[in-house]
Amino acid sequence: MDKVIAFQVPVSHIDKPKKFTFPFYYEPHPLSILAAEQVQDYLIENEGVLKHNFGLDGWNEGLVIGKMFGVLVVEKPTGELGFLAAFSGKLADSNDHDYFTPAVFDLLDSSGFFKKEENEINKLNKDIELLENQLDYTQNVKLKAELENTYATHLALLKNQIKKEKEKRKLTRQQLMASNDNSSIDARLEELRQLSLKEQYHLKDFQRAHKTQLSDLESKINAHKALISQLKELRKSRSFSLQNKIFDSYSFLNSKHVKRSLLSIFANSTDSKPPAGAGECAAPKLLQYAFLHQLKPICMAEFWWGASPKSEVRVHKNFYPACRGKCEPILSHMLSEVEMDENPMLQNPAEKLNLEIIFEDDFILAVNKPTEMLSVPGKSISDSVYLRIKQQFPNATGPLIVHRLDMSTSGILLLAKDLDTYKKLQVQFIKRKVEKRYLALLDGVLVEDCGEINLPLRVDLDDRPRQLVCHEHGKPAHTIWEVVQRFKDKTLVYFYPQTGRTHQLRVHAAHPLGLNTSIVGDDLYGKKDKRLCLHAETLIFTHPIFKTRISLQVDIDFLAV
């Protein structure tokens, strides 16, 4: 069945892009936007047919699962433009939907090897569960625990009694040795020795009897455990074989029809194996279908539809880049022969920007870092505050940079000219003796005037550098905030970070459990704009040498930017 969808509006007046979309950082092309809007109309019109709870108004039953969708504008061999649509993962517990491109490999196919082998593994699970809950086995395990508990109690009592009798005999010996009745001493000492031996024999007999009683029980338990272990080993072996067979079944084409499996693609990754869900995202599905059917990729975009997950920040209808952990290795192969837009992350947006020094003495200096300048050299861009200050002050020693600001965040950055000053300033930051205030323009109107946010954060391992809210593995992150001014559809706020986690203010602003309102220009957690409207406005600290309190402030007018 042909999955190419015709545009419902004329598009001949729209110029095609000269190069294909760089999938990990892009501005959606007008053709991609039109395609996405058409897919969104379809989702609204067919909500009842799809039977998937996206968590939108009017459907609150069951598990809420927002979903990433993708569109790929393609050119047919005839020159006609159309587009493909796909979703990440599965939709309403199915991979098979007429409107959307199929999965690269359909795990849910009832006639496929996965379902058949899954049924066999499920049978093993049931057999293991039956063995683990078999009555005579559970009774024997319980009886063994009771015997060991009783034995431990009785053994302690017996040893205590033996200890008391030993002390009595010791006292008796001392009394005998002090008496003058030499005729009976030897006989009495021998009698005491025999009593001691008798107690030791009694202790050994007690221990031996317990061991014999326990041995019979343990042999039955161990024989049963051996059966369970055999089934678990069989399950492990079959699961491992199934996983590898699945990885081999996920084979991806590039435009030259060169095919590579998941195992091959991820062979040189950190774990040397694909992460869970690799190959299930929208982008690989779209490109696979295009290459299989001789369709030329023109441009691509992905958008979120539905409620945001509890851990991530995803905004309904917003466009997002492809994830790096799962998709970057796959798409690197699939697009290896396609001419793409240049990677903007390899370009230095701060190349022509000036770095203003706002405070300097013999020991420290502070700069007003412009937006889009790195604090320290990155993987692909070396230009940074560190490098520029190092060049300007070649005799400065130590790490220089006392704290950091995100590349897109502007404002006050403190530096030390020598190692001793650096260490003293670091202590102030670690002990939270430094007062920091950030100014941010939010893309919405807040109702409350002030508050606190406590949401622990950790990195998204599948999509660095994005951060996740994670109560299990996240590090504590605490932000105090207050409203400065409200506008028609924006809010100016002060942020007072009490901790210094990566992207803390950005996530705390955008997350539904935070302010639920992203910072203007936040291309990771909100919508891209002229700039990220987050500025480190005020920094108050104690001079590490002179011990005077220093207050620095750099104002900014986001509305004039």
What is the mean pLDDT, run by run of 10 residues, along the chain of 561 residues? 92 96 96 98 91 75 84 96 96 89 83 86 94 92 90 90 89 80 76 87 87 87 94 93 85 94 87 85 97 97 93 93 93 96 90 94 96 93 95 91 96 96 95 96 97 96 91 96 96 97 97 96 93 98 96 93 72
CA-derived radius of gyration, the chain = 35
Catalytic residue, candidates 41, 93, 96, 406? 406
For tokens 């459990």, the residue is 513
- Phi, psi (5° rounding) for residue 72? -130, 110
Q: How many CA atoms lie within 13 A of 135 on its CB side?
A: 0
| Per-residue confidence (pLDDT) for residue 1, from 0 to 100 | 64
Burial class (CB in 10 A: 0-12, 13-18, 19+), 45: exposed
Catalytic residue list contains 406: yes
For residue 155, the number of C-alpha atoms closer than 13 Å in the C-beta half-sphere is 14
Task: Give counts: helices (H), strands (E), the chain.
Answer: 11, 17
Distance of alpha carbon 532 from alpha carbon 522, whole angstroms? 5
CA angle centred on 122, ends 118 and 123, rounded to 5°: 120
| Single pTM value for the model | 0.79
Exposed e or buried b for every residue in 514-528, given b needs 16+ CB within 10 A? bbebbbbbbbbbbeb
pLDDT attached to residue 344: 87
